[in-house]
């Protein structure tokens, strides 16, 4: 079985970065992803670059989905963005709470992602397929697993079409989260987020910040390789490919790859999966 996939990028900061991304998109297009998504900086700091990157991807003939975060946003500002998206033919949005940038005191007119989802639905009806975030190992700021699960349900009840999870390496966490969500009556697809591993040091820093657990057996194995980048890459490919295969076999509706604007690892994992 060939799983449906989607792939995430971040907006490049330079012309050189954009040129490299064009090449990356062209390489990954052979996988025929359902869509490419483009992240949105804290407090909307990359708004223009996010839109420009989405338009660049769309111009190459691919489905592109901008991220839209509510922290630091106003209703008028979001309404303006929705009008711009509509004018550009965008049909899918990834709606997130987002982070408040350091030094920014005003959180804007939305507090939570469910409020943003409801606003989009109220303004545009069924025009957009709205993706939201899910956290199998729980959001690091959640008061409890139960509260985090209820927060997820609020986003779905507000009108989310489907969800993409934070990346994880414990398949049991994803399966348990899906079971718990289904028990609450959530029926939308919950797509696992997949983080290929190219550098263990970068992964460890990022995981510590976002609350994604690296299982001890994986951490010890990576640490044993030291500066042997080739062994890190090979082991990372094996681990993530097996995780993807297990998730698909267990019924995951697709795979969403956090590409970090690189093509090689995602291409190799998907090749091993038979895409």
User: At 221, is the secondary structure helix, strand, or coil?
Assistant: helix
Burial annotation 158-173 (CB, 10 A radius, 16+ → b, else e): bbbbbbbbbbbbbbeb
**Half-sphere exposure in the Cβ direction for 210 (13 Å, CA):** 19
What residues act catalytically?
8
Strand duo 255-258 + 129-134: pairing: unpaired
Q: Name the H helices within 29-137.
A: 47-59, 75-87, 113-124
Fold type of domain 5-272: TIM Barrel (3.20.20)
Segment holding 182, helix H or strand E = helix 171-183
From the list 118, 119, 111, the residue with the least C-alpha distance to 155 is 118
Q: Spell out the residues 6+ positions from residue 268 whose beta carbon is closer than 8 angstroms to its own.
A: 237
Cα 58 from Cα 40, distance rounded (Å): 17
pLDDT (tens place) for every residue of the chain, 275 residues total: 577 999 999 999 899 999 999 999 999 999 999 999 999 865 555 678 888 999 999 988 999 999 998 877 889 989 999 999 999 999 999 999 876 655 555 557 888 999 999 999 999 999 999 999 999 999 888 899 999 999 999 999 999 999 999 999 999 999 999 999 999 999 999 999 999 999 999 999 999 888 899 999 999 999 999 999 999 999 999 999 999 999 999 999 999 999 999 999 999 999 999 98
What are the φ/ψ torsions at residue 185 (nearest 5 degrees)?
Answer: 95, 10
Query: Residue 258's pLDDT is what?
Result: 98
Name the pTM for this structure: 0.94
Distances 130 to 46, 145, 156, 219 between C-alpha atoms, Å: 20, 24, 10, 35
Q: What value does the CA radius of gyration of the chain take, rounded to a whole number of Å?
A: 18
User: At 103, is the secondary structure helix, strand, or coil?
Assistant: coil
Cα 124 from Cα 87, distance rounded (Å): 13
Structure tokens at 39: 């992240």
Domain ranges of the chain: 5-272
Cα 99 from Cα 45, distance rounded (Å): 10
């Amino acid at each position: 079985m060939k799983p449906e996939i989607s792939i995430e990028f971040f907006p490049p900061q330079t012309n050189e970065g954009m040129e490299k991304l064009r090449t990356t998109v062209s390489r990954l297009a052979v996988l025929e992803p359902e869509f490419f998504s483009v992240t949105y900086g804290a407090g909307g700091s990359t708004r223009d670059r996010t839109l420009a990157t989405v338009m660049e991807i769309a111009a190459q003939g691919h489905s592109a989905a901008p991220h839209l975060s509510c922290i630091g946003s106003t209703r008028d500002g979001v309404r303006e963005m929705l009008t711009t998206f509509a004018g550009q033919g965008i049909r899918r949005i990834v709606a997130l709470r987002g982070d408040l940038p350091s030094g920014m005191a005003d959180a804007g007119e939305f507090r939570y992602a469910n409020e943003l989802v409801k606003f989009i639905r109220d303004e545009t009806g069924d025009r957009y397929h709205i993706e939201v975030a899910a956290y199998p190992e729980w959001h690091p700021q959640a008061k409890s697993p139960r509260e985090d699960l209820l927060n997820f349900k609020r986003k779905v009840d507000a009108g989310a079409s489907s969800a993409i999870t934070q990346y994880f390496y414990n398949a049991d966490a994803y399966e348990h989260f899906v079971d718990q969500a289904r028990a609450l009556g959530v029926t939308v697809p919950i797509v696992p987020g997949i983080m290929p591993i190219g550098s263990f040091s970068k992964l460890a820093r990022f995981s510590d910040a976002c609350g994604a657990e690296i299982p001890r057996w994986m951490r010890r194995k990576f640490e044993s390789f030291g500066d042997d980048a080739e062994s890190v890459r090979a082991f990372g490919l094996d681990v993530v490919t097996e995780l993807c295969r297990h998730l698909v076999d267990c019924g995951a509706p697709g795979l969403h790859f956090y590409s970090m604007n690189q093509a090689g690892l995602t291409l190799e994992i998907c090749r091993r999966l038979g895409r």
